[in-house]
Amino acid sequence: MITYIHKSRNKSCSLKCLALDGVPAYETPASEKQVTSRTPPTFLFHTTEDKGVPPENSILFYLALRRAGVPAEMHIYERGKHGVGLAPTDSVLSTWAGRLADWLRARGLLTLQ
């Protein structure tokens, strides 16, 4: 099985990446292994070019959400580095915020237009 490692989960990471309970991130279970039926509905946005977190991490998380019966929506854009934020200078990538707003409206969580 292929493993996709988030840089902060890598033991050789130059950052001291800690989980909330003080356990090093590389010693905590992967996100997709922590999904339960009580995980909240989730919106995922990723890019294929992300070098910090492989998009496969989001794919595995999405699949775990589906197996647990958790409502989820995922969008993977081809271009965009890690941490693009709202990507205001990219006409394609910047559409992710609109997809999120649509998802929130559909769930009754956003009432502003």
- Pick from 93, 102, 10: nearest CA to 50: 93
Average pLDDT, integer, range 44-54: 92
Reported as type and span, the H/E element at residue 76 is strand 72-77
Average pLDDT, integer, range 64-78: 96
Tokens of 85: 């934020």
Domain definitions of the chain by residue range: 30-106
Question: Helices (H) and strands (E) in the chain — how many of each?
Answer: 2, 2
Residue 110's pLDDT is 92
Residue 30's pLDDT is 82
Question: For the purposes of burial, counting CB atoms within 10 Å of the CB of 72, is it exposed (0-12), middle (13-18) or buried (19 or more)?
Answer: buried
Residue 6's pLDDT is 54
Note the pLDDT tens digit of each residue in 11-37.
444 444 454 555 555 566 788 888 999
Instruction: Round to whole Å and give the CA distance between 21 and 3.
Output: 24
Residue 7's pLDDT is 52
- Residue reference for tokens 């990538």: 93
* Greater model confidence, 111 or 66: 66
Say whether domain 30-106 belongs to CATH 3.40.50.300: no
